[in-house]
Structure 1
Amino acid sequence: RLLNGSSRCSGRLQVKTNSSDQTWSSVCEADLDLQDAQVVCRELGCGAPSVLQGTLYGDAQTPRWSPEFQCGGHESALLDCRSSGSARSSCSPGKAAGLTCSGGDEFRLVGRASRCAGSLELKYLGDQRPVMDKVFTLKTAALFCEHLNCGSAVSLESTDVSYQSMWKIDSECFQSRSDLWNCVTSFFSSRILKLTCSEKKLKSTKI
């Protein structure tokens, strides 16, 4: 999975190396090369890797690290790749691997002069649609602002439009940036969500 990114296809890389163990491990930047990244992006259903960088999506607080993967680039899943066999005991601060794949799903705010205010739209599975109003609180809306690197949520509005197909995001399901993409469904509605963020970019926070 990729955490803290602006889309499903970007963020800090974590892997679950044992299916019977539900704990996620971070990947050290030094252990991720282009071939590994190609496999990760393919496994997540995203496009080719475009950025590999530590600290871009926050540092890792967890003490667990994955072994070094040795992918050829053709594998369908990261765990299909050969690995060093043993996990790292540590990694330098700020060196948790971050990855951005192309062609990912993404949010945007449209209809106003600022990129940090407007009607919320989501490109999901290649389909760009408005996000329907679903009784979001400012606390929940703040997660959208964080996704957009636009600081905190300032105000929420609900606006009537023509009845159309929209993306519905279950606010009870959506409690963190990491589980957002499991909470999206298609829905018909006539009310869209308008959001204004503070525009001040937040510093990366540890998770």
Structure 2
Amino acid sequence: RLVGGSSGCSGGLELKLLGEWSPVNDYRWNLKIASDGVRLLNGSSRCSGRLQVKPNPSDQTWSSVCEADLDLQDAQVVCRELGCGAPSVLQGALYGDVQTPRWSPEFQCGGHESALLDCRSSGSARSSCSPGKAAGLTCSGDEVRLVGGASRCAGRLELKVLGEQRPVRKDGFSLKTAALVCEHLNCGSAVSLQPTYVSYQSIWRIHSQCVQSGSDLWNCVSPWSSSRTLKLTCSGQQGADRQTGRPGGR
């Protein structure tokens, strides 16, 4: 259960074990555990991809959504639910296509709902969805950035997760994980990792073993507290920046 929040969908997480309710520690907690009901699949980050819904929490079956059954107000709810800002692109088959299973009813969101499955849906069921019409969605959330460096491809690594922008813990961060970050930013390969320090605060920790096991980067993030953060330098884009004279220019 979630307690102490503004609704039944927010608050402190508690689990009931042997008849007693106890709060859950945030250690090793990550987005893969927390997310439920809606996801974006096959995108460059958890804020882009083919939209899928899990209508029944007790059933682990995910269904794709037809492009015709999703409008801008529906997309606003999805991006908000995932903590990914506002929708920027809504188009079928941007992130691959599938034949089955499909979510049948059409969503009818007002745009103010906190979760897509809280929205009303039409009673009519769509028997099929045309090839190439599985809804693909990209939200505007700027989730990865390097700040304070000579270009956008160097600096302190920060992640925006569920609407919170925080630096990343240096300890345990591997070059393989750094390579994924540089690739995500279109900045080539990782050149160096260096410690940098901030006042002791809440930061993000990326579990490198989780990344190396093949999991998506965003499923390997958990909250942490430290003053030791990470400065990352990538190979790409720096030469172009010097030639154009524009910081982070392309």
User: With structure 2 as the length reference, what TM-score do the two structures score?
Assistant: 0.61
Q: Which residue of 2 aligns with 1:137?
A: 174
Secondary structure class of the residue paired with 1:92:
coil
CA distance in 1, matches of 2:179, 2:105: 35
Q: Which residue of 2 aligns with 1:109?
A: 146
| 2:71 aligns with one of 26, 33, 39 | 33
The Cα RMSD (Å) is 3.3
Counterpart code for 1:59 = G
Deviations 1:115-165 (A, max 9, x none): 2333311234544332111323333334323443x1664334122435532
Secondary structure class of the residue paired with 2:209:
coil
Alignment partner of 1:157 is 2:193: yes
8 Å CA contact 2:168–2:204 kept in 1: the answer is: yes
Query: Equivalent residues in 2 for 1:56-71 (5 A)?
Result: 56=94, 58-60=95-97, 63-71=100-108
Secondary structure class of the residue paired with 1:145:
helix
Instruction: Note closer, same or farther for the CA distance 1:151–1:37 as it changes in structure 2 (3 Å cut).
Output: same
More displaced stretch, 78-87 vs 180-189:
78-87
CA distance in 1, matches of 2:55, 2:84: 21
Secondary structure class of the residue paired with 1:35:
helix
Secondary structure class of the residue paired with 1:139:
helix
Query: Equivalent residues in 2 for 1:190-201 (5 A)?
Result: 190-196=228-234, 198=236
Secondary structure class of the residue paired with 2:223:
strand
Compare relative contact order (CA 8 Å, sep 6+) and give the higher one, 1 or 2. Answer: 1
Aligned residues: 194
Q: Which residue of 1 aligns with 2:160?
A: 123
| 1:170 aligns with one of 191, 204, 207 | 207
Q: Which residue of 1 aligns with 2:13?
A: none
Q: Which residue of 1 aligns with 2:121?
A: 82
8 Å CA contact 1:2–1:14 kept in 2: the answer is: yes
Alignment partner of 1:185 is 2:223: yes
Instruction: Note closer, same or farther for the CA distance 1:189–1:20 as it changes in structure 2 (3 Å cut).
Output: same
CA distance in 1, matches of 2:191, 2:99: 34
Instruction: Note closer, same or farther for the CA distance 1:193–1:113 as it changes in structure 2 (3 Å cut).
Output: closer
Q: Which residue of 1 aligns with 2:246?
A: none
Instruction: Note closer, same or farther for the CA distance 1:97–1:143 as it changes in structure 2 (3 Å cut).
Output: farther
CA distance in 1, matches of 2:154, 2:121: 46
User: With structure 1 as the length reference, what TM-score do the two structures score?
Assistant: 0.71
1:16, distance to aligned residue in structure 2 (A): 0.8
Unaligned 5+ runs, structure 1: 200-207
Q: Which residue of 2 aligns with 1:92?
A: 131
CA distance in 1, matches of 2:81, 2:163: 17
Q: Which residue of 1 aligns with 2:28?
A: none
8 Å CA contact 1:68–1:84 kept in 2: the answer is: yes
1:22, distance to aligned residue in structure 2 (A): 0.8
Instruction: Note closer, same or farther for the CA distance 1:151–1:50 as it changes in structure 2 (3 Å cut).
Output: same
Q: Please tell me whether Structure 1 or Structure 2 has the larger radius of gyration of its CA atoms.
A: 2
Identity %: 57
